[in-house]
Amino acid sequence: MTIKNFGARVISVWEGLRPMTKKMLVGALAASGVNTANPQTQKFSYDVHAEWELSRLLSALDEQAKDAEVKKDAEKTREIKQLAQTCAKVLQTQTASAEVFIQLATRAVQRNDFDNLDRLADILAQRFSAGEVAEIVRQTELAQIRAIAYETLALMPIANLLPLLDDTLYFEIARNAVEQQAFEFDNEDAQQILEQVEFDESNGD
């Protein structure tokens, strides 16, 4: 795999990666040839900066894979997609970021990869805070992703949603999730909270 053949944007992003991130990717690539089923068993040095780097590289690779000239070269296309898939796998096993989740889920929707979309939904429920899930609802433009995020919020303990009701940025999102718990799941606590919210609104609070 020769990065210098992957196009100017990919080269630029790659050259900006820290050595530890490059090492992580090389290790993940090597591991993917042996054990693609359990990438989470690989030990990587992963932090917020590495996540940002991998996300940028993934965007550059996906963009390059769509290039008409690149598509004429089957081997180059295969290598670009292989590296992109490795970036996506590492991100998927580690991220708890709304922006990266949207990036990964959007890729899955565009590829009609609904099995992976289901896996991402499971990750959302297991790993993400209520605030990050609400941020996904706020940021995404895809109805499928918004629906997954709302479903995750509706299944969270009601206590996790309470802080969002005090945040003007997420109030409507949290209220919708509370309403779903109240009416679809017959959650009495949610019903009481919704009544209090409606009472506060009617009194101008």
Q: Is the pLDDT of residue 178 over 50?
A: yes
CA–CA separation, 13 vs 7, rounded Å? 10
Mean pLDDT for the stretch of residues 114-140: 97
Residues 88 and 174 in one domain: no
pLDDT tens string 156-166 = 999 999 999 99
Q: Is the pLDDT of residue 105 over 80?
A: yes
pLDDT at 53: 97
Residues 136 and 193 in one domain: yes
Residues 129 and 204 in one domain: yes
Mean pLDDT for the stretch of residues 156-185: 96
Contact 32, 10 (CB under 8 A): no
Residues 185 and 153 in one domain: yes
Residues 49 and 119 in one domain: no
pLDDT at 31: 84
pLDDT at 33: 66
pLDDT tens string 67-88 = 998 889 999 999 999 999 999 9
Q: Is the residue at 151 inside a domain?
A: yes
Of 11-15, 68-72, 88-92, 118-122, the range with the lowest mean pLDDT is: 68-72
CA–CA separation, 73 vs 65, rounded Å? 10
Q: Structural domain of residue 153, as residue ranges?
A: 114-205
Q: Is the residue at 3 inside a domain?
A: yes
Residues in the chain: 205
Residues 89 and 44 in one domain: yes
CA–CA separation, 80 vs 71, rounded Å? 10
- The structural domain count of the chain equals 2
CA–CA separation, 166 vs 55, rounded Å? 31
**pTM for the complete prediction?**
0.90
Q: Is the residue at 8 inside a domain?
A: yes
